[in-house]
Amino acid sequence: MFLKPWRFLLYPAALGCLAQSPPDLREAARLDEQGKCAESELIYRRALATPSPSSALLNNAGNHYLACGEAAKAASFFERLLQRLPAHSNANLQLARLAEQQKQPARAEKHLAVLSNTNDPQLLFDTGSLFAALGNFRSAQQLWQRLAIQKPGDFDVLLNLGRAAARAGNLARAREALEAALRLRPDNTAVLYELGSANAASGDSPRAVFLLARAQNQSPRHPGIALALARAAEDAGYYGDAALAFDRYLQLQPGDLAAQRDRARAVANTTARRQEGLTALEAYAASQPQDPIGHFQLAQLCWNTDPERSLAHLAEAVRLDPALAPAHTARAWLLHRLGRDQDAIAHLETALKLNPKEGRTLDYYGLVLLALDRPSQAEKAFRQAAEIAPASWEVRLHLGRILMEQGKEQEAQRWLEQYQKLRPPRQRDPRREPGMIDLAVMSQPERRAREIARFRSMVAARPDDALLRLHLANLLLADGKETDALPEFQALLTRNADKDVLSQAGRALLDAGRPTQALPFLERSGTPLDHAIALLQTAGASAALSALDKIPAPEQSAEFLLLKARILHSAGRGDEALQLLTAPHSWRGARPHLVEQAALLLAAHGRYREAEQTLTHAITDAPENRGLLLAESVVLALEKRTAESIQRLRRIEERWPEWDRPYHLHGLLLPAKQAAPLLRTAAALGAANSAPACRNLRDWLSPPCRGAEQ
């Protein structure tokens, strides 16, 4: 729900009219507030008997009939009022509300459009609420964004802004606003539910499970939370937890057939209850034979053991719903596995007609075309998939391989390098047994103790699983049990740990302030930059620079340049550091947080113009990166261009009114009296912990003050 409980509202224009009304009309309004409609009706009838009732009287009469439940009469008075004063706020709002209740969206939006230019906070809120009730979430988001600028620490505003942004499809903005609301009220059920749902829609299912489990703990009988938790747990691969969550939901909504179907699928994906779930899903499909999703899900469960049966279910799914694109894609994938590529192509082309922007389908299409010896068409499909799915490592691997086969080695290498960066270190099985939801609602110490015990047990059962041991070592380190953690790390050096595990172990020890222990891991993992950092902290700048000099020129990335510049800077060789940072085009195309660090290192040397130019290029490439924009304000402030810095900060505050850092920096640039409200806002939004360490402008060259983002 967006709207607050309905209440009788008078806006400034209406209040002014009331204050100027004769005593008998003020008495009538008082009687309306007390619910004494019959008594106030007599007063209004006498007043309305005059030949030309005033605007104030028309407005008050409309309010009277609204309060007394006579909507048609109320509307007639508000419409008469708008003939005189077309922009009257209360009349437009009440007519919009009535039109929304009568399912007349066009009429409602016509009145709301008149109100959209207001700056009155309450009117902005209620206009935004009505836009949301009409399903116009984009307009609702715009109004609540404006309200958030006025009231950056208001929980209700941030919550509704996040809700509207999520429903408008702007999931990144939704998560920003809702995370700010969560900091204000960490146990609020509504914000936990909305933020969990936004994370689920964004594909961050583990985070969604964590938030939704906490929401359910607060409101165990809320069916929407229970269902959202069940689906998020299944998407995260927590099948045992998903089955339990579906059970809880079905206790609240036992007649939901779709949930019964999906529960059966979740149960079938557990280890211990697979046959139970399969039997339940077969029973569902028999009782609901016209549901294509039931056939689709059955096909997914049996395609490894009985591919022909799976094909039959997929055929039935697409017969029942020819527009079910995932079923076409799945049938094509299975046909390809069975060597029936010509049949597979037809289904993939159908799926792509239904959804041309589906990256996985394009990837499969390329693989099947390749199997049919149509490499040029396959390359085109892979390129389209790579453009649509920038985070897909599989697509980059397939495109790199086909380019390599065609002799385009230089371009192929670029795609394969992207694949190496994107691919996960290890593909692990889903967590099929329950336990993750219980962990989510525990306190942090309880949760960590439970996880440590669980991983100790798994490591004891599988002592050669290096990734399990690494996870245990990291948990122990995070829990402050360094004496227990270090032997687990050391054991990795004697096990069959691959380079990815060794690199992660070395990085964890480095982050924990243990560079000596990190060195052997980083030496063996082939991660030269982290190795150089460890050498800097153990053997000094000369050893670190010597290690960096061994890196071949083609491998000297933006990270390399920044690290070398930092080491040179720490060794007192500032001029050499600056030469690296000011090399032409060194930072174009680098990740935003690296450009930010490079620019601020330039600023630390007083090279403000170069720093500003570096940030300007980066902001052109990534205009929505708030870290770059804040860094630009820091550089301008250090250069004593205070007015320009404040101007930039105001723009950031308008774009992200829930972000604490800009208010904090803004306050430091103003005299104490003007700064006080900004610093209070920053503290309310979460900057209180960092405030003591960020009182000096040069402190803002460090990541903790800026809240630097990767």
Beta-carbon contacts of residue 487 (< 8 Å; ≥ 6 apart): none
Beta-carbon contacts of residue 138 (< 8 Å; ≥ 6 apart): 168
CATH architecture of 1-135: Alpha Horseshoe (1.25)
Q: What are phi and psi of 589, to 5 degrees?
A: 90, -5
Average pLDDT over every residue of 538-559: 86
Q: What is the pLDDT of residue 435?
A: 63
Beta-carbon contacts of residue 236 (< 8 Å; ≥ 6 apart): 205, 206, 208, 209, 431, 436
Q: What is the pLDDT of residue 499?
A: 85
551-579 residues labelled b (16+ CB within 10 A) or e (exposed): eeeeeeebebbbbbbbbbbebeebeebbe
Q: How confident is the model at residue 11 (pLDDT cuts 50, 70, 90)?
A: very low
CA distance 80 to 91: 9
- Other CB atoms closer than 10 Å to residue 163's CB: what's the count? 27
Q: How confident is the model at residue 407 (pLDDT cuts 50, 70, 90)?
A: confident
Q: What is the pLDDT of residue 436?
A: 63
One-letter identity of residue 651: R
424 or 504, higher pLDDT: 504
Q: What is the pLDDT of residue 158?
A: 96
Query: Over the stretch 246-281, which tens digit does the pLDDT of each residue have?
Result: 999 999 999 999 999 999 999 999 888 899 999 999
Q: What is the pLDDT of residue 14?
A: 47
Q: Are 90 and 9 in contact (CB under 8 A)?
A: yes
Q: What is the pLDDT of residue 97?
A: 95
Rank 165-179, 565-579, 668-682 by mean pLDDT and report only the highest: 165-179
Task: For domain 587-710, give the CATH superfamily.
Answer: Tetratricopeptide repeat domain (1.25.40.10)
Q: Are 676 and 610 in contact (CB under 8 A)?
A: no
Q: What is the pLDDT of residue 573?
A: 85
H or E element at residue 198: helix 189-202
Question: Which among 114, 116, 169 is positioned nearest to 139, based on CA atoms?
Answer: 116
Q: Are 318 and 328 in contact (CB under 8 A)?
A: yes
Q: What is the pLDDT of residue 90?
A: 94
One-letter identity of residue 448: R
Percent of the chain with pLDDT over 90: 51
Q: Are 232 and 209 in contact (CB under 8 A)?
A: yes
Q: Are 704 and 693 in contact (CB under 8 A)?
A: yes
Q: How confident is the model at residue 585 (pLDDT cuts 50, 70, 90)?
A: low
Q: What is the pLDDT of residue 365?
A: 95
Least confident of 104-118, 451-465, 598-612: 451-465
pLDDT at 40 over 70: yes
Residue listed under structure tokens 């630009």: 632
Average pLDDT over every residue of 204-227: 93
CA distance 589 to 572: 29
CA distance 61 to 29: 9
- Other CB atoms closer than 10 Å to residue 85's CB: what's the count? 14
**Are 1-135 and 587-710 the same fold in CATH?**
yes
Q: What is the pLDDT of residue 20?
A: 43
Average pLDDT over every residue of 31-50: 88
Rank 370-384, 498-512, 528-542 by mean pLDDT and report only the highest: 370-384
Average pLDDT over every residue of 290-303: 93
Q: How confident is the model at residue 146 (pLDDT cuts 50, 70, 90)?
A: very high
CA distance 395 to 702: 37
Q: What is the pLDDT of residue 696?
A: 86
CA angle 690, 693, 695 (to 5 degrees): 105
Q: What is the pLDDT of residue 414?
A: 87
Query: Over the stretch 360-400, which tens digit does the pLDDT of each residue have?
Result: 999 999 999 999 999 999 999 999 999 998 888 899 999 98
How much is the mean pLDDT over the chain? 87
Tokens found for residue 350 = 């159908």
pLDDT at 303 over 70: yes
Domain ranges of the chain: 1-135, 186-288, 441-497, 587-710
Question: Which among 69, 59, 62, 58 is positioned nearest to 6, based on CA atoms?
Answer: 69
DSSP string, 319-346: HH-TT-HHHHHHHHHHHHHTT-HHHHHH
Query: Over the stretch 436-445, which tens digit does the pLDDT of each residue have?
Result: 666 666 666 7
CA distance 228 to 245: 9
Tokens found for residue 303 = 């395609």
- Other CB atoms closer than 10 Å to residue 497's CB: what's the count? 23
Average pLDDT over every residue of 652-669: 92
Query: Over the stretch 346-356, which tens digit does the pLDDT of each residue have?
Result: 999 999 999 99
Q: What is the pLDDT of residue 156?
A: 94
Question: Which among 568, 572, 640 is positioned nearest to 606, based on CA atoms?
Answer: 640
CA angle 524, 528, 529 (to 5 degrees): 135
DSSP string, 625-654: -HHHHHHHHHHHHHTT-HHHHHHHHHHHHH
Least confident of 58-62, 524-528, 626-630: 524-528
Maximum alpha-carbon separation in the chain: 99
Q: What is the pLDDT of residue 141?
A: 97
50 or 159, higher pLDDT: 159
Query: Over the stretch 472-498, which tens digit does the pLDDT of each residue have?
Result: 888 888 888 889 989 999 998 887 788
Query: Over the stretch 568-583, which tens digit does the pLDDT of each residue have?
Result: 887 888 888 888 887 7
What's the CA dihedral at 129, 130, 133, 135 to 10 degrees?
A: -100
Q: What is the pLDDT of residue 140?
A: 96
CATH class of this structure's domain 186-288: mainly alpha
Q: What is the pLDDT of residue 21?
A: 52
Average pLDDT over every residue of 224-234: 95
Average pLDDT over every residue of 3-15: 41
Q: What is the pLDDT of residue 663?
A: 92
CA distance 260 to 263: 5
CA angle 282, 221, 280 (to 5 degrees): 5
Q: Are 26 and 18 in contact (CB under 8 A)?
A: yes
DSSP state of 137: H
Q: What is the pLDDT of residue 549?
A: 87
